[in-house]
Amino acid sequence: EPEVTQTPSHQVTQMGQEVILRCVPISNHLYFYWYRQILGQKVEFLVSFYNNEISEKSEIFDDQFSVERPDGSNFTLKIRSTKLEDSAMYFCASSEEGTWGETQYFGPGTRLLVL
Amino acid sequence: SQQGEEDPQALSIQEGENATMNCSYKTSINNLQWYRQNSGRGLVHLILIRSNEREKHSGRLRVTLDTSKKSSSLLITASRAADTASYFCATDGYGNKLVFGAGTILRVKS
């Protein structure tokens, strides 16, 4: 069964450094998402992406964040200058369509620790 | 906020018993989904119920939706130790983002 994959599974970085989190969505899916979950808290929406542009973003997704689909398979989340509070599990998800009623399939996550 | 909120926050049962988790939300929705998360792992999609549906089954899972009360329940029958996980409801009333609740931590003792 097709799966969303994410790399790396764990990333440790120093505050102020840039990190790029990578995702390979399910191949025939058109909508892509990033969510994050701070330890012990709810899963929070960051951004959705369709047709090579952001379709929606949350207030968490400020100027330090960016997303890109550099080729036909990868979908990346870049955090330009990491802060301690960026430490979280980051999940990528994809769906076949972006309309209501579409299941979003999640990857296993990247655990980011900012020191 | 249209957040889903689950209760109870934690539930501990014996293997073989049924587990019921509830979710409430605040605004109109198009659908509601339930996900499972094993400790520190990814989110696994369990079931999606549309706003015009009242009940849905998938294996040992039964989900109900009451849009008049803005609530949903997830029933896991004949629970197993492997069902131990956190369970989240997620709604998508606006746009295509999912809004998750805080989750119910289920522990099934063998």
Task: Please give the sequence-ordered ranges of beta strands (E in DSSP) within chain A, or none if there are none.
Answer: 5-7, 10-13, 19-24, 31-37, 43-50, 53-57, 65-68, 75-79, 88-95, 105-106, 110-114
* CA angle A106–A41–B10, rounded 5-degree value: 95
Q: Do B102 and A42 touch (CB under 8 A)?
A: yes
- Residue B53 contacts A, CB cutoff 8 Å: no
Confidence of residue B1 (pLDDT cuts 50, 70, 90): very low
- Residue B102 contacts A, CB cutoff 8 Å: yes
- Residue B103 contacts A, CB cutoff 8 Å: yes
pLDDT at A13 over 50: yes
Query: In chain B, which residues have their Cβ closer than 8 Å to the Cβ of A109?
Result: 41-42
Confidence of residue B2 (pLDDT cuts 50, 70, 90): very low
- Residue A102 contacts B, CB cutoff 8 Å: yes
Q: Do A109 and B42 touch (CB under 8 A)?
A: yes
The predicted-structure confidence for A33-54, as pLDDT tens digits, reads as follows 999 999 888 899 999 998 889 9
Whole-number pLDDT of residue A41: 87
Confidence of residue A100 (pLDDT cuts 50, 70, 90): low
* CA angle B39–B40–B41, rounded 5-degree value: 95
- Residue A96 contacts B, CB cutoff 8 Å: no
Mean predicted lDDT score pLDDT of chain A:
92
Q: Do B96 and A58 touch (CB under 8 A)?
A: no
Of B5, B18, B31, whose CA–CA distance to B87 is shortest?
B5
Distances (CA, A) of B3 to A38, A74, B99: 17, 30, 6
